[in-house]
Amino acid sequence: MATYRTLGRTGVKVSPLTLGAMNFGAWANRDHDDAVKIIHQALDAGVNVIDTADVYSQGENEEIVGKALADGRRDDVFLATKFHGQIGDNPNHQGNSRRWIHRAVEDSLRRLGTDHIDLYQVHRPDPATDFEETLGALDDLVRQGKIRYFGTTTFEPHQIVEGQWIAERLRRQRPVTEQPPYSILARAAERAVLPIAERYGLGVLPWSPLAGGWLSGHYRKGDTTHAASSRLERQPHRHDPELAANQRKREAAERLAELADEAGLSLIHLSLAFVLEHPAVSTVIIGPRTREHLVSQLGAADVRLPRDVLDRIDEIVPPGTTISPADEGYQPPSLTDPATRRRPAARG
């Protein structure tokens, strides 16, 4: 695997590829033994970052990662997980409150079989919770030694800046990473998120670099294997081929596949190498479900795209363009709640 990179300004050396574990467990690959073998294969290939979350398969995913690291490999891994999503039915077992963070971290530590988490991430913004409360709780966890660093995932640009300002004003530990969606088909992060990350020295760990499978090479003309995929069942807004935005993604993916063929690359390697090309990116998250998926992605860390290929990519999907808003991963209340955009009705 290619030379290790530095995670922002932390000084931590990370592999260009991060193993995203989301597809292990009830959501996709239910075979724990097979999932453990895939994790070990990734580590043997030089991957030293594993990313999971408590909400993935409702904790089962973290348990699988814990099994894989129980054989003495824990110290070799930079282990990242997340909190925010709903766990169970209790209305307080979710969000970014101090109360939930202190409960969630203990549950993650137990499932992962470790005494500390290297990177604890806020999985999504929480409009119901002051960010000061969230940062205060995370600062406590750093001081207690339960986490080493913390960061954010899929935050809006102004929220990333706000986190830095709050930490500076209150003299607390600051977020050191951001995990945005970023692929050739979803380039909105280039507008502000990635420049802001560079400005503040944040490590960037993009998720969905293959656009949820659209850049895997399986969505080419005449291929219907995606129709029964688990992704289609869980996220039809991203994967239903009948939706207009997804039809545009398929057209772009076909042109990119032709470009990859001309460059002598697989579409997977082209797509991952594109994300790794951005100066702000520290490591890119891959999410294999099978060993074949893993093998098809590992070699991308050694690929450098020629300038003419990068220029052609820009022609197919212009910089800053996201073809489908569904691939952005989060829509703020300012977009989803009409009341935030309309003055109160006049009284009669």
**Residue 232 falls within a domain, yes or no?**
yes
Mean pLDDT of 3-9: 95
**Residue 28 pLDDT greater than 70, yes or no:** yes
Supply the pLDDT for residue 7.
98
Q: What one-letter code names the amino acid at 33? A: D
**Residue 318 pLDDT greater than 90, yes or no:** yes
**Residue 347 falls within a domain, yes or no?**
no
SS3 (DSSP) at 189: helix
Residue 17: φ, ψ to 5°: -110, 135
Supply the pLDDT for residue 346.
72
Residue 197 domain boundaries: 5-341
pLDDT in tens, 236-258: 677 677 788 789 999 999 999 99
- Provide, rounded to the nearest whole percent, the portion of the chain with pLDDT above 90: 83
The angle, 0 to 180 degrees and rounded to 10, between the axes of the packed helices 131-144 and 157-170 is 60
User: Residue 239 in contact with residue 226, Cβ under 8 Å?
Assistant: yes
**Residue 224 pLDDT greater than 80, yes or no:** no
Which entry of 56, 120, 149, 182 is annotated as an active-site residue?
A: 56
Distance CA 273, CA 271 (A): 6
161-170 long-range Cβ contacts below 8 angstroms, 24+ apart: 161/196, 161/200, 162/131, 163/131, 163/135, 164/200, 166/131, 166/132, 166/135, 167/135, 167/139, 170/132, 170/135, 170/136
Half-sphere exposure (CA, 13 Å, Cβ side) for 185? 32
**Residue 110 falls within a domain, yes or no?**
yes
Supply the pLDDT for residue 227.
44
Sheet of strand 147-153: strand arrangement: 203-204, 177-179, 147-153, 117-122, 78-83, 49-51, 17-20, 284-286
**Residue 228 pLDDT greater than 50, yes or no:** no
**Residue 210 falls within a domain, yes or no?**
yes
Q: pTM, whole model, 2 decimals?
A: 0.93
- Provide, rounded to the nearest whole percent, the portion of the chain with pLDDT above 70: 93
What value, to the nearest 5°, has the Cα angle with vertex 322 and ends 318 and 328?
A: 155
Supply the pLDDT for residue 219.
66
pLDDT in tens, 167-221: 999 999 999 999 999 999 999 999 999 999 999 999 999 999 999 999 998 765 5
**Residue 89 falls within a domain, yes or no?**
yes
SS3 (DSSP) at 29: strand
Supply the pLDDT for residue 95.
97
The residues near 255 (Cβ < 8 Å, ≥ 6 apart) are 316
**Residue 348 falls within a domain, yes or no?**
no
Supply the pLDDT for residue 242.
73
Q: Is the model more confident about 26 or about 271? A: 271
User: Residue 19 in contact with residue 226, Cβ under 8 Å?
Assistant: no
Mean pLDDT of 297-325: 96
Known catalytic residue: 4?
Answer: no
Half-sphere exposure (CA, 13 Å, Cβ side) for 158? 1
Q: What one-letter code names the amino acid at 113? A: G
Average pLDDT, the chain: 93
pLDDT in tens, 80-91: 999 999 999 999
Question: 292 to each of 227, 266, 287, 305, how far by Cα in Å?
Answer: 20, 14, 12, 24
- Band (pLDDT 50/70/90 cuts) for residue 277 is very high
CATH of the domain at 169: 3.20.20.100
| Cross-strand partners of 121 | 82, 151
pLDDT in tens, 116-164: 999 999 999 999 999 999 999 999 999 999 999 999 999 999 999 999 9
Supply the pLDDT for residue 205.
98
**Residue 346 falls within a domain, yes or no?**
no
- Band (pLDDT 50/70/90 cuts) for residue 24 is very high
**Residue 99 falls within a domain, yes or no?**
yes
Supply the pLDDT for residue 180.
98
Half-sphere exposure (CA, 13 Å, Cβ side) for 336? 7
User: Residue 80 in contact with residue 121, Cβ under 8 Å?
Assistant: yes
**Residue 222 pLDDT greater than 70, yes or no:** no
Q: Based on the structure, what is the number of domains in the chain? A: 1
Supply the pLDDT for residue 243.
82
**Residue 98 pLDDT greater than 70, yes or no:** yes
The pair of structure tokens assigned to 193 is 């998120």
**Residue 232 pLDDT greater than 70, yes or no:** no
User: Residue 166 in contact with residue 189, Cβ under 8 Å?
Assistant: no
The pair of structure tokens assigned to 291 is 């060993």
